[in-house]
Amino acid sequence: DAGVIQSPRHEVTEMGQEVTLRCKPISGHNSLFWYRQTMMRGLELLIYFNNNVPIDDSGMPEDRFSAKMPNASFSTLKIQPSEPRDSAVYFCASSFGQGRDQPQHFGDGTRLSIL
Amino acid sequence: GQQVMQIPQYQHVQEGEDFTTYCNSSTTLSNIQWYKQRPGGHPVFLIQLVKSGEVKKQKRLTFQFGEAKKNSSLHITATQTTDVGTYFCAGNQAGTALIFGKGTTLSVSS
């Protein structure tokens, strides 16, 4: 079975540009999570969707970040405008179940560099 | 707010030595999970503990959940080079977000 699929794997862009990260969760999973990982801050939850509805977006850094889940098989995380401090690895994860106690399956991540 | 602390941050061992990482929470947890991330890879789920005092084993890995459900440990017996990576604990209270610790990075020399 295919795991969580993220694209692109790597993104290098100049500050001020719009960045869109994409995620396809595991088929049948109804919870989706976006995380950001940096050396300084570790793994931080940005937003959590359940059944395509954003449940908790308290981790979204600021208005420059937005996330959507138009259907059960696709989600995007957008940064506009991007800044150098947004450089990080962004992971998407999915799980099956209502709550947040279920084991999460992570994609390979998008390594984002903002110059 | 809820915090999950892990120690040590780094650990280097000789192949064949044992390794333990500890996880402590400021609040009582409903469950704790452990993940492993290889260098350049993504976190991979290892195990979930939900009961007070629970102990689970996976081959050379032993996981414990404290009696008060505020701490946990992962012990690896006789480390191998394939054990290299960062081990994360993650816990939450019921209905809240899973909080990840900063991880313990294990290096093994042969």
pLDDT tens-digit readout, A22-61: 999 999 999 999 999 999 999 999 999 999 999 999 999 8
Is pLDDT at A108 greater than 80 in this prediction?
yes
Judged by CB atoms closer than 8 Å, whether chains meet at A59 and B43 is answered as no
pLDDT, one tens digit per residue, over B4-58 is: 999 999 999 999 999 999 999 989 999 999 999 999 999 999 999 999 999 999 9
Share of chain A above pLDDT 90, in %: 92
Q: Are B37 and B86 in contact (CB under 8 A)?
A: yes
pLDDT at A98: 72
**What gap in Å lies between CA A42 and CA B98, rounded to an integer?**
13
Is pLDDT at A86 greater than 80 in this prediction?
yes
Q: Which residues of A touch B48 (CB under 8 A)?
A: 101, 103
Judged by CB atoms closer than 8 Å, whether chains meet at A45 and B95 is answered as no
Q: Which of A106, A111, A109 is nearest to A88 (CA)?
A: A111
Q: Average pLDDT of B65-75?
A: 97
A49 in contact with B at a CB cutoff of 8 Å? no
State phi, psi for A73 to the nearest 5 degrees: -115, 15
Is pLDDT at B2 greater than 90 in this prediction?
no
pLDDT at A1: 63
Q: Average pLDDT of B65-69?
A: 97
Is pLDDT at A62 greater than 70 in this prediction?
yes
Q: Which residues of B touch A93 (CB under 8 A)?
A: 43
pLDDT at B35: 98
Judged by CB atoms closer than 8 Å, whether chains meet at B88 and A100 is answered as no
Q: Which of A12, A63, A61, A9 is nearest to A35 (CA)?
A: A61
Judged by CB atoms closer than 8 Å, whether chains meet at B97 and A59 is answered as yes
